[in-house]
Chain A
Amino acid sequence: MDTLENLYRQIIMDHYKNPRHKGLVDDPLYVTKHIKNPSCGDDITIQSLVREDIVEDVRHDGRGCSICCSSASVLASLMIGKTEHEAMTLTENYLNMITGKPFDQARDLEDALAYQGVTKFPARMKCATIAWQAFGATLNKKAGETDEQ
């Protein structure tokens, strides 16, 4: 069960048990995106606050499996402090990594690299990408916009 141990890495379990930046804020400066995966019930909301091109804050909340919930926490920890452009590139990079496409190894995904194990479990790709897709969507929207999906 090597690959399974690889899937449930310590970093992932740590973020699952002790999520960082969890809980949504009621602030019109944040952009909010909610994504629900109806087939499995994963349900994630991501908020981002971008000011002067810097991702100042990322918040998340939701319900789902360990891969889904922990990835939101890892995402928030990674993105805070990055420029919007860097955040966008990292998001693309991560999504490429999970879906088995070539990705730029030079850009440091830090803890998010732990999710590489997911490529061995195609049925779980959705779990690992839903928070990142929601985050990517917040970058493409204006402050105060909320989206239900």
Chain B
Amino acid sequence: MDFTALRKQFPVYAYEDIVYLDTAASSLTPQAVIDGMNEYYTRFPVNVHRGVYRLSYQATEAYTAARETVAKFIKASFEEIIFTRGASSALNLVAFSYGLSVLKPGDEIILSALEHHSNLLPWQAVAKQTGAVLKFVPLDPSGRITAEAFASTLSKKTRIVALTYVSNVMGYITPLKPIIALAHEQGAVVVVDAAQAAPHHAINVKELDCDFLAFSGHKMCGPTGIGVLYGKAHLLKAMPPIEYGGDMNDHVTLHDAVYKDPPYRFETGTPPIAEALGLASAIRFLQDIGLDAIAEHARHLREKALAGIEAISGITVYNPTTETGIITFNLDDVHPHDAVTYFDADGIALRAGHHCAQTVMQWLQVDATLRASFYLYNTDDDVKRFLDTLRRARTFFTEAGF
């Protein structure tokens, strides 16, 4: 695969001479995805499920086909795919529908300090409402979740396990298969936050055997405003909706209503139709390149960048053993917001801050970090420019007296 040639498919590069290293926040958008969304707005820009006329039928067909594409992407069935606004709202849906209805006082929810706020705060809120207790898998010295540490946290009281598949700060891959098997032995249900995994991994929910899985379109070349919650069919069937209104019901009277079966039960109102089509286009785009090839490319760039960083003194890398395309680091004694401005002035987009993962910052005992994340449109030249700037930045801040 010629990754450099692929860049031509990302229109932003025609306008910006940018080294984009913030994919872990949001990926760039290829023309194919823009076209996928435009098709809706140009050819059948009308509501789905409602109109009994040809255009509405066409729109509904396209929307349905998008859900099928997503289902195949993670080896799920059609009715197991719920469209949401993103990973955050998908995780909120599990917490406030499944969590609220099953949790009893004293039940335990297992999380980790590596969680994005979107897989922490919903559980905090649900635990407060139900009297359930949060437990955290202790991280190993490099900051990883291990199956052993998980086993020591698991108990007969564990009802829900909610863990990230790939950490958005450390880039580590959680050993989910043994964790899920252990959790199921205790009768617990496992929720996987795959926001950082879906862009880089072929996910097979049947093989993984997770009960729920969430991800976002905008981190995998898709549009913003769309995400996915996968849930096992029998679990979704038993769950109450958390939003009520049009489209999610079969029959309505003054005092009662009968709700639709999943997935529609959880999708009230006019859905993000163009975004669903865009997500399907993104999936086809990634599959045409090959997810393994994408992961390998990101790993190659990360290794090259890491080797370069390690040759510069005065830089701390917090995740040198990571297996994905994320490098989290700081210039010693330089606040990441000071550092990031230097990169910005050189046309290099890095993330600086706590990355919506303040518990990871607390574990690392830092206020904030820089993060470079590599993806399919990055090149060896990007790595070179990044390292050149890093070297000059280090000298600049030392000379400035930091």
Which residues of A line the B interface, CB within 8 A? Answer: 1, 3-4, 7-8, 13, 17, 39-42, 63-68, 121, 123-124, 127
B341 touches A121 (CB 8 A): yes
A7-B341, A121-B345 known, 12 other contacts, Cβ within 8 Å = A1-B342, A1-B345, A3-B345, A4-B341, A13-B401, A39-B353, A40-B353, A41-B361, A66-B335, A66-B338, A121-B344, A124-B337
Chain B residues with CB under 8 Å of A1's CB are 342, 345, 396
Contacts of B338 in A (CB 8 A): 8, 65-67
Interface residues of B in 387-402 (CB under 8 A from A): 396, 400-402
Tell me the count of chain B residues lying within 8 A, CB to CB, of chain A. 18
Residue among B344, B353, B400, B401 making CB contact with A41, cutoff 8 Å: B353
Residue B352 lies at the interface, judged by CB distance under 8 Å to chain A: yes
- Tell whether, in the assembled complex, residue A65 and residue B335 are in contact, meaning their CB atoms are under 8 Å apart: yes
Contact B345 A127 (CB under 8 A): no
The reply on B368 being an interface residue by CB < 8 A is: yes
- Counted as pairs of residues, one from A and one from B, with CB atoms less than 8 Å apart, the total is 47
A41 touching B341 by the CB < 8 A rule?
A: no
With CB as the reference atom, state the residue of chain A lying closest to B353. A40
8 example contacts (A-B, Cβ-Cβ < 8 A) are as follows A17-B401, A39-B353, A41-B353, A41-B368, A64-B337, A65-B335, A66-B335, A68-B337
Contact residues in B for A39 (Cβ distance below 8 Å): 353
Distance to closest chain A CB from B207 (angstroms):
38
Given A41-B368, A65-B337, also A123-B396 (CB < 8 A)? no
Q: How far, in angstroms, from A42 to B352 measured CA to CA in the complex?
A: 12
B337 near A4: Cβ-Cβ < 8 Å? no
Residues in B whose Cβ lies below 8 Å from that of A124: 337, 341
A41 to B357, CA, bound (A): 12
Residues of B within 8 A of A13 (CB): 400-402
**Chain B residues whose CB sits within 8 angstroms of the CB of A4 once the complex forms:** 341-342, 345, 396
Which residue of chain B is the closest to A4 with respect to CB atoms?
B345
Docked CA distance A63–B344 (Å): 22
The 10 closest A-B CB pairs, nearest first, are A65-B337, A65-B335, A41-B368, A13-B401, A65-B338, A8-B400, A66-B338, A41-B367, A40-B353, A4-B345
Cα A42 to Cα B368 with chains together (Å): 10
Across-interface contacts of B354 in A (CB, < 8 A): 41
Chain B residue numbers with a CB within 8 Å of A42 are 337
Tell me the bound Cα distance from A39 to B368 in angstroms: 10
Contact of B352 (CB < 8 Å), options: A7, A40, A63, A121? A40
Most buried by A among B338, B344, B368, B396: B338
